[in-house]
Amino acid sequence: AQTVTQSQPEMSVQEAETVTLSCTYDTSESDYYLFWYKQPPSRQMILVIRQEAYKQQNATENRFSVNFQKAAKSFSLKISDSQLGDAAMYFCAFQFGKGGSEKLVFGKGTKLTVNP
């Protein structure tokens, strides 16, 4: 079974600084997708960034970027120029790429605090 591990239950960062959230996963598949979702106190699940496993280039969305290491099965999220609005729970998730169920498998999350 696929598993997703987020080893940092909590992280904090100073406003305007950079923080990296860790995620590792375990799968025997070669075709899959990886995601980072943000869940603020309002409880919405907001897609932050998405990476296709077949792409070697790391995905980037404005201040958010990933470091995807396929061989190491590592998928970390870097937040640059942190803002107060970035404070939230961050969940890493895995999804099969083709056929069958397209369910998401989530990690337990990292709570990010942004200090002014």
Site for other proteins in 44-73 (CB under 8 A): 44-47, 50
Interaction of residue 7 with other proteins, rule CB under 8 A: no
CB contact at 8 A, 104 and 2: no
Q: Is residue 73 packed enough to be buried (19+ CB in 10 Å), middle (13-18) or exposed (0-12)? A: middle
Query: How many Å apart are CA 94 and CA 33, to the nearest integer?
Result: 6
Site for other proteins in 81-100 (CB under 8 A): 91, 98-100
Closer residue to other proteins in complex, CB, 1/71: 1
Closer residue to other proteins in complex, CB, 85/100: 100
Among 28, 56, 57, 101, binds other proteins (CB under 8 A): 101
Identify the residue whose tokens are 């942004």: 114
Closer residue to other proteins in complex, CB, 13/49: 49
For residue 61, give both structure tokens.
């969305």
CB of 95 to other proteins, least distance (A): 8
Q: Is the dihedral of CA 95, 32, 12, 16 positive or negative?
A: negative
Residues sharing a CB contact under 8 Å with residue 102, sequence separation 6 or more, in sequence order: 95, 96
Interaction of residue 32 with other proteins, rule CB under 8 A: no
Q: Site residues (CB under 8 A) for other proteins? A: 4, 33, 35, 37, 42-47, 50, 91, 98-109
